[in-house]
Amino acid sequence: LEAEEKARLEEEERQRLEAEEKARLEAEEKARLEEEERLRIEAEEKARIEEEERLRLEAEEKARLEEEERQRLEAEEKARLEAEEKARLEEEERLRLEAEEKARLEEEERLRIEAEEKARIEGRREAETRSRRSRTEEVRGRTTAKRGRRTDS
């Protein structure tokens, strides 16, 4: 009886130890699985954060490039408008100078024509005066000649 009792107790102890070992192994397996799950979740979170960071950096780079392109286009547009304005002002200045030159030439022509007309009129007056003098002298000459004939008679 004592030997049976001892064998039963040893069997119970063996089963208890097996149960403890089984529980320990299950706990270790559970802990290992939980650790693997935690590491997987951490890795996924890290990958998600890295992907978000990559996307953020790409978006920033794209925004930077778009801003540079916008500024380049604005600078080109500004330069184009400034060049057009400069060309317009130069054209206005050219036209103004042409108009001044034309006005100067027209004034010179007007003054030349006026001087020629004045000279023509003055020449005509002088010719008329000479003609009158000549006729007056002619008339005086005839009158003097008539007077002389009268005196002779």
Indicate the residue type of 115: A
Q: How far apart are CA 61 and CA 53, in angstroms?
A: 12
Cα→Cα distances 65→54, 69, 74, 75, 79, Å:
16, 6, 14, 15, 21
Confidence of residue 144 (pLDDT cuts 50, 70, 90): low
Please give the share of the chain, as a percent, with pLDDT higher than 90.
78
**Residue 150: what pLDDT?**
59
Which of the pair, 141 or 29, is modelled with greater confidence? Answer: 29
**Residue 50: what pLDDT?**
98
Reading the block at residue 133, the tokens are: 């003098």
Rounded to 5 degrees, what are φ and ψ at 95? -65, -40
**From the DSSP assignment, how many helices (H) and strands (E) are in the chain?**
1, 0
Reading the block at residue 58, the tokens are: 């790409």
Mean pLDDT within 87-108: 98
Q: What is the mean pLDDT of the chain?
A: 92
pTM surpassing 0.85?
A: no
Mean pLDDT within 110-138: 87
